[in-house]
Chains A and B, each alone.
Chain A
Amino acid sequence: MKVTLWGTRGSLATPGPETVRYGGNTSCVEVCGADGTVLVLDAGTGIRRLGARLGPEVGRVDVLLTHLHMDHIQGLGFFRPLDQSGQEVHIWGPPSTTLDLRARVSRYLSPPLFPVRLRELPSRLTLHDVPLAPEEIRIGGLRISAALVCHPGPTVGYRISEDGATMTYIPDHEPLLGAVRLSSSDWISGFDLAAHADLLIHDSQYSATQYPKHVGWGHSAIPHVLEFAARTGVKRLVTFHHDPRHDDAALDRLVNEARSSADLPFEILPGIEGACFEVGHATRNQGQTTLT
């Protein structure tokens, strides 16, 4: 499968000359299966450019939301397939104990926050509460598992597999919560989602010095992500959900510090908007390219 980053910023879109390389758009990742299946992970502001690229040849689009914080849904109203008459679109999101996904998404896609109501969109739209692991969903040739992770409010991460290859997406996650002084992996949030993944895209919002002021906010400091990636045995880690205060120079510095901090048993890659990753068998190209 091919994975493309359309938005890597956390919390708030952060455009500007100082963020032009890592990008300012909020969370959105495209996953293309070998059979042409298209998954869109989160609907941050990065989804607008992705939507403009998806033509009528894509018969069905599935948007998998990790949670409903604004930086993960703000682009929905500007996702062109939703505005295409007859286009089949499915939106999946974490279950809630009170309202179904349609009711919760409608809180944003309705006046006064947005001029168009969800029901007024011309596409053929279906909303689903995503089943939680051990249940799986299958979309085209992709098998998808969702599980709740440590982040305020119902929030899931996704594990997507195809033909023996796996990528995991956990953009908002504070695995250190509940894992303090623990030795056993079964007490680590997100462990099963990420275990032995070929590619892990993970929250890396804070530096080690920033984290203490943000404990419980639901995000990770880079040293925690490195430990999580090492414990779960992933092959490649992509930093993601960058703090709006971190410009390109700061993010370069954090990644370089991470690389030099230890002899890491995985490859660490900076989450740069436009980056593409091939995830497949060892015999396939697992390289990285950049979208132009």
Chain B
Amino acid sequence: MPQKAVEVILMRQLASYLAMPILLFDPAGTLLFYNEPVEAISGLRFDETGEIKLEELSSMLHLTAEDGSPLPLEARPSVVALQQKRASHAVFWMAGVDGVRRKVEATGFPLEGQGGRHLGAVVILWEAQR
């Protein structure tokens, strides 16, 4: 497996030290890393899952709008950051593998490396309501 870009390595390092939930995606949408605060609100454990492909992630985390309908892909900050390469913010409900439904706010932004390389995306979550 090729080495990750140093910007991605350092982003993971930063995320691992911060106390707010942070998810780190590669350009293909694979969840490369999530920190311990994400574990606390999702029921996932990184040591057990490792990297998670986009399609697997959808079956693990169920994102819904206020009315309970599935959150459209184009409304997800991770997808906006990866596909449109811009920052966005959204409020939605998330049910993780622990079965608990939480209202979260999410901010996503693309990771642009030196030389204009698109390296993926970062999503920061805030738990708004349980």
- When the two chains form their complex, are residues A188 and B13 in contact, meaning their CB atoms are under 8 A apart? no
A132, A147, A185 — most chain B CB neighbours (10 Å) = A132
Segment of B3-11, B54-62, B83-91, B97-105 in the binding face? B3-11
- When the two chains form their complex, are residues B3 and A150 in contact, meaning their CB atoms are under 8 A apart? no
- When the two chains form their complex, are residues A192 and B3 in contact, meaning their CB atoms are under 8 A apart? yes
The reply to whether the CB of A191 lies closer than 8 angstroms to some CB of chain B is yes
The reply to whether the CB of A187 lies closer than 8 angstroms to some CB of chain B is yes
- When the two chains form their complex, are residues B9 and A178 in contact, meaning their CB atoms are under 8 A apart? yes
The reply to whether the CB of B114 lies closer than 8 angstroms to some CB of chain A is yes
- When the two chains form their complex, are residues A95 and B114 in contact, meaning their CB atoms are under 8 A apart? yes
Identity of the chain A residue whose Cβ is nearest the Cβ of B14 in the assembled complex: A178
Identity of the chain A residue whose Cβ is nearest the Cβ of B33 in the assembled complex: A187
Contacts A191-B3, A192-B3 given; indicate if A97 touches B13 (C-beta within 8 A).
Answer: no
Contact residues in A for B10 (Cβ distance below 8 Å): 150, 177-178
The reply to whether the CB of B2 lies closer than 8 angstroms to some CB of chain A is yes
The reply to whether the CB of B1 lies closer than 8 angstroms to some CB of chain A is yes
Contact residues in B for A184 (Cβ distance below 8 Å): 1
- When the two chains form their complex, are residues A150 and B114 in contact, meaning their CB atoms are under 8 A apart? no
Identity of the chain B residue whose Cβ is nearest the Cβ of A147 in the assembled complex: B6
Contact string against B for A residues 193-216, beta-carbon threshold 8 Å, 1 for contact and 0 otherwise: 000000000000000000000000
- When the two chains form their complex, are residues B1 and A149 in contact, meaning their CB atoms are under 8 A apart? no
- When the two chains form their complex, are residues B5 and A186 in contact, meaning their CB atoms are under 8 A apart? no
Contact residues in B for A188 (Cβ distance below 8 Å): 3, 9
Contact residues in B for A95 (Cβ distance below 8 Å): 114-115
Chain A residues touching B, majority SS: loop
CB neighbors of B among A136-158 (8 A): 147-150, 154
Partner of A178, one of B1, B13, B113, B114: B13
Complex: how many Å from CA A178 to CA B7?
10
The reply to whether the CB of A189 lies closer than 8 angstroms to some CB of chain B is yes
B2, B3, B114 — most chain A CB neighbours (10 Å) = B3
The reply to whether the CB of B12 lies closer than 8 angstroms to some CB of chain A is yes
Partner of B4, one of A131, A154, A186: A186
Contact residues in B for A191 (Cβ distance below 8 Å): 3
Contact residues in A for B7 (Cβ distance below 8 Å): 148
Contacts A95-B114, A132-B115 given; indicate if A186 touches B3 (C-beta within 8 A).
Answer: yes
Contact residues in B for A178 (Cβ distance below 8 Å): 6, 9-10, 12-13
How far is the CB of A153 from the nearest CB of chain B, in Å? 11
- When the two chains form their complex, are residues B3 and A185 in contact, meaning their CB atoms are under 8 A apart? yes
Identity of the chain B residue whose Cβ is nearest the Cβ of A154 in the assembled complex: B114
- When the two chains form their complex, are residues B12 and A186 in contact, meaning their CB atoms are under 8 A apart? no
Contact residues in B for A147 (Cβ distance below 8 Å): 6
Contacts A177-B13, A178-B12, A178-B13 given; indicate if A189 touches B6 (C-beta within 8 A).
Answer: yes
Identity of the chain A residue whose Cβ is nearest the Cβ of B116 in the assembled complex: A97
A95, A97, A178, A180 — most chain B CB neighbours (10 Å) = A178
Contact residues in A for B13 (Cβ distance below 8 Å): 177-178, 180
CB neighbors of B among A73-107 (8 A): 94-97
B residues lining the A interface (CB < 8 Å): 1-7, 9-10, 12-13, 16, 113-115, 117
- Known A-B contacts: A178-B9, A178-B13. Give 11 more (CB < 8 A): A97-B114, A132-B114, A132-B115, A147-B6, A177-B13, A180-B13, A185-B1, A186-B2, A187-B3, A187-B9, A192-B2
A residues lining the B interface (CB < 8 Å): 94-97, 131-132, 147-150, 154, 177-180, 184-192
The list of the 6 closest CB pairs from A to B, nearest first, reads A178-B9, A178-B13, A192-B3, A148-B6, A186-B1, A191-B3
Pairs across A and B, CB under 8 Å, 17 listed:
A96-B114, A148-B7, A148-B113, A148-B114, A150-B9, A154-B114, A177-B9, A177-B13, A178-B6, A178-B10, A180-B13, A180-B16, A184-B1, A185-B3, A186-B2, A187-B3, A192-B3
